[in-house]
Amino acid sequence: MSTSSETVSNTPPGAAPNTSSEAARVTPSEAAPATPGRGTRLTLAGASLGRPGAPALDSVDLDIAPGEILTVVGPSGCGKSTLLRTLAGLLAPLTGEITQDGHPLTGPSADRALVFQEDALLPWRTLRANVELPLAIRGVPRAERRAQAQAWLERVGLGAQARQLPHRVSGGQRQRVQLARALAGRPRAVLMDEPFGALDAQTRAGMQDLLVEVLRGTGATVVFVTHDVDEALFLGDRVALLGTGGLLAVRDIPRPRERGAHDDPARVALRRDVLTLLGT
């Protein structure tokens, strides 16, 4: 279940509503909410994270720029989820310092939405009511939050399904709703823990495209954890590599962000470098 920005979470980008294929493209609605660039800087300085006596990550120095998409890759148990929960304010660092825009990060905040692999939608609420939830928590008047929620559902291609309950739509569609809910709260940072990991390959590719499309208009800083190196290199502006006990390296990712770029020599070299550092 999401916490920070709402106690629920998630957001969207363009792929048209299509009940037969989650990978279908969506054209963002003109009525969809626009959020000006308002990402936040998240910084770890000499931070050790995890449980006392058994840190998952030790002495991490990492600066995440406002508005960037940082993907995080590493083997199971290396501390990826611990990193996200610490950035969300759910765990305090064992040592070192974690700041947001230069100020100590001391707990959960509506500025930071945490999105998990499970969609965490409330089953008794319609899709629109689920997206409304962070707005209701912020005290947005009912009519206004309903309009904003509908606009976000339109943006992720699910406007016509607004009154459906979560069990009536597919797993990929529920992830679109989770994405819409996270972004509806206008967080300055979105922390995503393998949100597409349970989806089939076609649906996953569609969700990746949707995420990129929707984030273009938000300015939010994104930290995206994945086991999939190719997903990390497609989505990220930079990729952080975690190994047992610490941060191995951070690499810039060549652009433009294109599906066909996996054959580009620079991308091939980077992929080889990442796999070598991860020992795979």
How many whole angstroms from its chain centre is CA 145?
Answer: 22
Task: Give me the residues paired with residue 221 across strands.
Answer: 189
Of the CATH numbers 3.30.500.10, 3.40.50.720, 3.40.50.300, 2.60.40.1220, which one belongs to the domain with range 42-278? 3.40.50.300
Position 216 scores a pLDDT of 80
Model confidence over 54-67: pLDDT tens digits?
Answer: 889 999 999 999 99
pLDDT reported for residue 280: 67
Residue 168 in this model has a pLDDT that exceeds 60: yes
pLDDT at 73: 95
State pLDDT tens for residues 125-152: 999 999 999 899 888 999 999 999 999 9
DSSP the chain: ---TTTTS----------SS-TT---PPPTTS----S----EEEEEEEEEETTEEEEEEEEEEE-TT-EEEEE--TTSSHHHHHHHHTTSS--SEEEEEETTEE--S--TTEEEE-SS----TTS-HHHHHHHHHHHTT--HHHHHHHHHHHHHHTT-GGGTTS-GGGS-HHHHHHHHHHHHHHT--SEEEEESTTTTS-HHHHHHHHHHHHHHHTTT--EEEEEES-HHHHHHH-SEEEEEETBEEEEEEE--SS--GGGGGSHHHHHHHHHHHHHHT-
Task: Say what percent of the chain tops pLDDT 90.
Answer: 52
Confidence grade of residue 244 (pLDDT, cut at 50, 70, 90): confident
Evaluate if residue 79 carries a pLDDT over 80: yes
Give the domain ranges of the chain: 42-278
Most confident of 92-96, 109-113, 204-208: 92-96
pLDDT digits (tens, 9 = 90+) for 2-49: 333 333 333 333 333 333 333 333 333 333 343 444 899 999 999 999
Q: Does pLDDT of 174 surpass 80?
A: yes
218 pLDDT tier (thresholds 50, 70, 90): confident
pLDDT for position 34: 39
**pLDDT score for 54:** 82
- Kindly state the tokens that stand for 203: 């649906």
Does residue 22 contact residue 199 with C-beta atoms inside 8 Å?
yes
Kindly report the average pLDDT of the chain as a whole number. Answer: 83
pLDDT recorded at residue 9? 35
Q: Which of 37-46, 97-106, 202-211 has the highest mean pLDDT?
A: 97-106
Compare 23 and 105 and report the one with higher pLDDT. 105
pLDDT at residue number 203: 86
pLDDT at 255: 81
